Every structure is written in C-alpha cells, then in structure tokens.
Chains A and B, each alone.
Chain A
Amino acid sequence: MSEDSGYNFAYLDEQTKRMIRRALLKAVAVPGYQVPFASREMPLPYGWGTGGIQVTAAVLGPDDTLKVIDQGADDTTNAVSIRRFFAKTAGVATTTRTEEASVIQTRHRIPETPLSEKQILVYQVPIPEPLRWLEPREAETRALHALGDYGVMQVELYEDIAIHGKIKRAYDYPVEVAGRYLTSPSPIPKFDNPKLSDCPALQLFGAGREKRIYAIPPYTPVRSLDFEDHPFAVDHPGHPCAICGDTESFLDEIVTDDAGGRIFVCSDTDHCRARQEGLAHDDAA
C-alpha cells in the first residue's frame, strides 16, 4: 500500500499486475503480436486510456519518474488526470520533461526528444487491430495474422492512391514490425512513424476496451507499408513553430480568431518549452 492513498501501489492489485506483466512478456517476445489480456475496470471510461493506464500500472516502480502526454501536450485534461492518478496511487515522481522520465504514457504522439534505453513508452490504443475496418470478423483477422496474409491492407493503400493520387492516411499508418506482424502504431501521426523503428526505448501498447497488449522491443525494425513506386514519406508541415521557430517538429494548428487567423505551434509542449529556454539562454549569453 502506498502510505496515504488507501490503494495498492499504482492502483491495481498485484495479481492483476502479474497477469498484465505476463502478457507484456509475451508481447515483447513476439513483437507486434496482439496478446489478449484480462483488461480490468478502471476509474475512468474506456477510450480515456484504460489500456495505457493498466500497462503503466504494471511496469511502474517506486523509483520511476512518470510523464504523461496527450496529443504531445502535458497540460491537457487527460494527461493531467492520469499523471495525478499515479502520483496519488503510486506516489511516484512526475515530470513534464521527456529526458527526465523513465516511463512516458502517451496518446497520439511520440515525443520529439529522442528516447533512450532507460525509458519505456506506453501508448494508449483505441483500436489495436489494423485490419478491423477491412475484415470485421475477429476469427478471420487472427487467421490473417497467423498466416502473415496482409494483401488486403495493401489493397487499402492502393485505394488511397487510386482515388487521391497518394496514400492519404495521415495517422494510425500501418506498420510491419520485425518483418512479421502487421501492427497499428495507435493514432499517432505518420510523421512519428520513423521514430518507431530502431528505437532505444521499450514501446508498449495497451488497448483497454479491446483487451489487447502488444509491444515493440528496443531496436526493432519497423517498416511503414507502401508501394515501390509510392514509397512511404512524411509530410512536412511547411511552417516553422510560431513560438519556438522549429521547422522540424510536428505542429498543431491553432485558430486564433473568428476571421480565419491561425498559427502553427509545436504539438510537443515540452520540446517547445526546451527550445524557448535554449533560445532565451542563447540570447542571455
């Protein structure tokens, strides 16, 4: 028990955490494969990150430092709530600085700051099955995974090019993990897809409602699906960040008035802050 909460450490009971850890071990052993697990009821609704929270709870230790981001930001409701939840139920240190965190729970982004071997990135996943929209039958999607039978996903990309002239899918862009399993990277922008591959950090994915866990172990090759003559490419926003001036980071569009005014700013708030501090430091020097 953490001293002041009345909950077991990190909310979940130890049996549940062991169950989840077994699923995680299997997921790490079979990169990209969706491992079923007995997802628990959590004190927040499905779709708010119950899968990610359970995975975080299962890997968190007393010495960890936790960072939670939602769409790249540390200060949105969801991120703040989850960070507080673990501060209260586990008593762990929290941070908004990517490089200080040992566990980062995320929704819809990978931090701009390169991750290290000492870090675990936990993704919240709404729909873990990349074939779900093409094949509604679970038994059949499992068979397709078992057989590595992924032509239908390629058909989906073909359709994009045929109709839109290019692969239009901008987020949750399907990947092949370690040359084997077709995997959903969760609804991160395809801008982040290259960071999935050969990443020094352990990447864990939890889908609470769908009761699935999967993983990309450190330094695993991850390939975004494409065609030889329509290779995977990241769209660059074409603007610098209006606050820190970065031309490389992923930007959010912010509408500033009712007259159509808008600015583009870094989606990763910690990255933007660090750059602003760096710029201020340079100015002072």
Chain B
Amino acid sequence: MTMPPDAILSARDLRFDYGNGQGVRGVSFDLWPGDVLGIVGESGSGKTTLLKLLGGLLAPSGGSLSYRDASGELLDLLALPEARRRHLARTELGFVHQNPRDGLRLAVTAGGNVGERLMATGGRHYGRIRQSALDWLTRVEIDGARIDDRPTQFSGGMQQRLQIARNLVSGPRLVLMDEPTGGLDVSVQARLLDLLRSLVADLGLSVVIVTHDLGVARLLADRLMVMQGGRVIEEGLTDQVLDDPREPYTQLLVSSVLAA
C-alpha cells in the first residue's frame, strides 16, 4: 500500500463487521508525528471499533494498516508476528481505555502499574524502576506518597491519570485514547484534559482520540474525522469541521452541543 514517507500510521480501507450490520466499513487515513486526530460520532458509529482495530485489540476483516517504527522501518501491523506486535504495544504504542479498570492491574500498586512496561522490556533494577514510576506519578499529578497504594484506593480521575502514566512511561510515539475523560466529573475532566494537552505537546506524541464530546475534540485535536454508520463522512481541521460543518449529520452533531 502507499504510505506517505513522513507518516507514522496509515490505514487503508479498514473494515470490521460485527455480523449485525455494525462495525467499520472502509476507513482510510494517515497520521503524522505530533498529529492529534480526533474521531467523533455517536454511539454505534464505529469510532471505538476503529480504535480497537488500530490498537490490535480487534483483527480487521479487511484493509491494511502500516506503521513506521522509531528506527524508520515500515511495518505491516496486520501481518506482524505476535512477539513483535506485543513488544511494539508496550514500547512505542499506548492505549488509554475509557474505563481505567480495563487498562490497569487493580491488584497491583500504582508503582507496579507504572513500572510494568519497564519490567516487561527487561528492566531489572528495582531502584531505577521505582524512580521512573515516581517521576511519572508526579508528572500526572499523583502524590508520590501514594506509590504503594492500589488503584482501587484511587478516585476515578486519579485512576485515569495512573493509566496514562502507565502508558507513557515507555516513551511511546503513538497513543490511542478511547473517551479518556468519559465518566469523570466535569472539574476532574478539565484537569485531565489540560494534563493530556500539555503531555501531548511536550512529548510530541501522535494521538488518535475517540470522543463523543466535541469540547474535548476542540481542545485536544488538530484534525477531526466524523464517523457515522461505520464510515468517515467528513474530515478536516478541527475548526473547519466544528465551525463550518458541511454534512447534514455533522451539522446536527455540532448544533446539538452547547458552545463546543
């Protein structure tokens, strides 16, 4: 397939069928280093399914998915051997689940959760692993004194920040986020959004973020894809899509929110 030489991720005609008519019906896009792509749409539009296809949590029924790794090698993600795929998933990639409980080990301390990627990639020095965990807890604004507490003792917002630290500790290049602020109180959301915004900018991450919240999309995303019925019906710069929506569905979506 054709991938722009400077892109980090390229999807072509990705498809997935749940067997009930829902799913993803041919989605193509390119993502560049430092690019934040928002995917918006209603429940059932296929946006979370698309994210799972990108993250390897679901295997597509068709299409192609290419990734250019840190060394510049072009990888066919759909044909990658399992060992290589897993290694990639815990080094260069991140996946932030909507429910932090799906992305954390609840029986393991905060420090263990953050340190896992380091240990999974050969980290064998307890002191250094712990220091990294401490640094990352601080960066996501969790008190270092909580390093030996379990996530079950954390609030929802803290759990979500812990999940983010757990992903970012390995220095990923591409992070996929599924409604990262969903299910949180509004004030907690604002804090998390600001944190995500500054981390993404400071680390130069490429991000694909799924959200139904156009305010979140406005704040975080450079570009948007609007999905409906498993297809991308409109895409462009975030302000283009939100301030000059062209498709009937996008106009409905934008007009349904208060001051996005």
- A contacts B: CB pair < 8 Å: yes
Q: Which residue on B lies nearest to A161, using beta carbons?
A: B126
| Nearest 4 interchain pairs by C-beta | A151-B120, A154-B119, A227-B126, A151-B119
**B120 CB contacts on chain A under 8 angstroms:** 149, 151-152, 154
Query: Is there an interface contact between B108 and A227, defined as CB atoms closer than 8 Å?
Result: no
Query: Is there an interface contact between B83 and A147, defined as CB atoms closer than 8 Å?
Result: yes
Query: Is there an interface contact between A228 and B111, defined as CB atoms closer than 8 Å?
Result: no
Q: Is the C-beta of B148 less than 8 angstroms from some C-beta in chain A?
A: yes
**What 0/1 pattern do residues 207 to 236 of A give for CB contact below 8 A with B?**
000000000000000000011111000000
- Chain A 143-179 interface residues, beta-carbon cutoff 8 Å to B: 143, 147-149, 151-152, 154-155, 158-159, 161-163
Q: Which residue on B lies nearest to A167, using beta carbons?
A: B126
Given contacts A228-B124, A228-B125, contact A159 B86 (CB under 8 A): no
Query: Is there an interface contact between A227 and B125, defined as CB atoms closer than 8 Å?
Result: yes
Q: Is the C-beta of B116 less than 8 angstroms from some C-beta in chain A?
A: yes
**B112 CB contacts on chain A under 8 angstroms:** 155, 158-159, 162
**A148 CB contacts on chain B under 8 angstroms:** 83
Q: Which B residues lie at the A interface, using CB under 8 A?
A: 82-83, 86, 90, 105, 108-109, 111-112, 115-117, 119-121, 123-127, 129-130, 147-148
Q: A122–B90 Cα gap in the complex (Å)?
A: 39
Given contacts A162-B147, A227-B124, contact A147 B86 (CB under 8 A): yes
Cβ of B210 to closest chain A Cβ, rounded Å: 26
Cβ of A71 to closest chain B Cβ, rounded Å: 30
Number of interface residues of A (CB under 8 A): 18
Q: A158–B121 Cα gap in the complex (Å)?
A: 14
Q: Which A residues lie at the B interface, using CB under 8 A?
A: 143, 147-149, 151-152, 154-155, 158-159, 161-163, 226-230
Given contacts A162-B130, A227-B124, contact A143 B82 (CB under 8 A): yes
Given contacts A149-B120, A151-B120, A155-B119, contact A162 B148 (CB under 8 A): yes
8 contacts between A and B (CB under 8 A): A147-B83, A151-B90, A154-B124, A158-B115, A158-B130, A162-B112, A227-B124, A230-B126
Q: Which residue on B lies nearest to A151, using beta carbons?
A: B120
Q: A155–B125 Cα gap in the complex (Å)?
A: 12
**B148 CB contacts on chain A under 8 angstroms:** 162-163
Q: A148–B86 Cα gap in the complex (Å)?
A: 11
Q: Which of A143, A152, A159, A229 is in CB contact (< 8 Å) with B109?
A: A159
**A162 CB contacts on chain B under 8 angstroms:** 109, 111-112, 130, 147-148
**B125 CB contacts on chain A under 8 angstroms:** 227-229
**B124 CB contacts on chain A under 8 angstroms:** 154, 226-228
**B117 CB contacts on chain A under 8 angstroms:** 151
Which of B116, B123, B124 has the most chain A CB atoms inside 10 A of its CB? Answer: B124
Cβ of A147 to closest chain B Cβ, rounded Å: 5
Given contacts A227-B125, A227-B126, contact A158 B119 (CB under 8 A): yes
Q: Which residue on B lies nearest to A225, using beta carbons?
A: B124
Q: Which residue on A lies nearest to B90, using beta carbons?
A: A151
**B147 CB contacts on chain A under 8 angstroms:** 162
**A163 CB contacts on chain B under 8 angstroms:** 109, 148
Q: A226–B119 Cα gap in the complex (Å)?
A: 11
Query: Is there an interface contact between B126 and A158, defined as CB atoms closer than 8 Å?
Result: yes
**A226 CB contacts on chain B under 8 angstroms:** 124
Q: Which residue on B lies nearest to A147, using beta carbons?
A: B83
Cβ of A244 to closest chain B Cβ, rounded Å: 38
Q: Which of B83, B115, B130 is in CB contact (< 8 Å) with A155?
A: B115
Query: Is there an interface contact between B116 and A151, defined as CB atoms closer than 8 Å?
Result: yes
Query: Is there an interface contact between B105 and A155, defined as CB atoms closer than 8 Å?
Result: yes
**A147 CB contacts on chain B under 8 angstroms:** 82-83, 86
**A161 CB contacts on chain B under 8 angstroms:** 126
Q: A149–B87 Cα gap in the complex (Å)?
A: 9
Q: Which residue on B lies nearest to A150, using beta carbons?
A: B120
